[in-house]
């Protein structure tokens, strides 16, 4: 019996370890939902942390929790001169370095966006995905180098795919420039591309616990019959 339960636990762990993979292009996402930051407001508008948006396409809520008190909408070629595609609507951390957390009201299978730091040069972007129980599903680092004013859609892409469709939220972090100058701080991302959805809300820990116990009960019954 103990062997059966132990093997079951190992199998679950193995599935979790293999469920998340890195995406390197937006084209890999069968987009069903998206977030265009113009839905928050006009270019240069400020929005308190946290803020809530509703996705286009298949609708559900996305909560944005940034590193400061406010996030700001920007537009490539108007209030931002970098490496996004001309006209892209952006969400900027408003001259504050740190982590942005994006919470989804439904679990998703795919997430992706492009990112650029406010200051030029090389940096590392870290994306981490979590399920509804705050379990770390995996993390990936993406090396990036940025310049000014090219508007050539070369801003670094970061994305993840879960074969279990259990991504409840992601965190994004960009290594700071550390120039000591306040207006070199912060970073921006363009539209979010998402594939979803588990039609149920993100599961609560209690619900997931019951499912886990149910699996154990089934194994015990099977062991007794054997």
Break the chain into its structural domains and give their ranges. 25-209
Q: What's the mean per-residue pLDDT of the chain?
A: 86
Measured between alpha carbons, how far is 43 from 50 in angstroms, rounded to an integer? 19
- E strand or H helix at 108, and its extent? strand 100-117
With bands split at pLDDT 50, 70 and 90, how would you rate the model's confidence at 216?
Answer: very low
For residue 160, give the nearest of 133, 188, 195 by alpha carbon: 195
CATH pick for 25-209 out of 1.10.260, 2.60.120, 1.10.357, 3.10.350 = 2.60.120
Phi and psi at residue 134, in whole multiples of 5°? 65, 20
Per-residue pLDDT of 52-105, as tens digits, reads: 999 999 999 999 999 999 999 999 999 999 999 999 999 999 999 999 999 999
Residue 205 vs residue 100, higher pLDDT? 100
Residue 21 has pLDDT above 50, yes or no: yes
For residue 172, give the nearest of 88, 122, 98 by alpha carbon: 98
The answer to whether the CB of 50 falls within 8 A of the CB of 64 is yes
């Amino acid at each position: 019996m103990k062997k059966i339960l132990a093997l079951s636990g190992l199998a679950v762990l193995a599935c979790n370890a293999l469920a998340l993979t890195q995406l390197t292009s937006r084209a890999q996402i069968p987009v069903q939902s998206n977030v265009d930051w113009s839905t928050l407001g006009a270019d240069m508008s400020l929005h308190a942390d946290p803020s809530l948006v509703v996705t286009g396409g298949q609708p559900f809520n996305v909560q944005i929790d940034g590193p400061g008190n406010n996030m700001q909408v920007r537009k490539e070629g108007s209030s931002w001169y970098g490496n996004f595609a001309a006209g892209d609507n952006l969400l900027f951390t408003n001259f504050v370095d740190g982590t942005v957390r994006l919470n989804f009201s439904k679990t998703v299978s795919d997430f992706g966006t492009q990112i650029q730091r406010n200051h030029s040069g090389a940096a590392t972007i870290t994306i981490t995905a979590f399920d509804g129980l705050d379990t770390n599903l995996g993390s990936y680092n993406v090396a990036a180098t940025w310049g000014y004013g090219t508007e050539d859609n070369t801003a670094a892409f970061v994305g993840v795919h879960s074969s279990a469709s259990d991504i409840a939220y992601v965190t994004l972090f960009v290594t700071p420039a550390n120039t000591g100058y306040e207006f070199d701080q912060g970073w921006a991302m363009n539209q979010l591309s998402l594939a979803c959805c588990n039609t149920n809300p993100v599961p609560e820990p209690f619900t997931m616990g019951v499912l886990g116990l149910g699996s154990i009960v089934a194994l015990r019954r099977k062991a007794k019959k054997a």
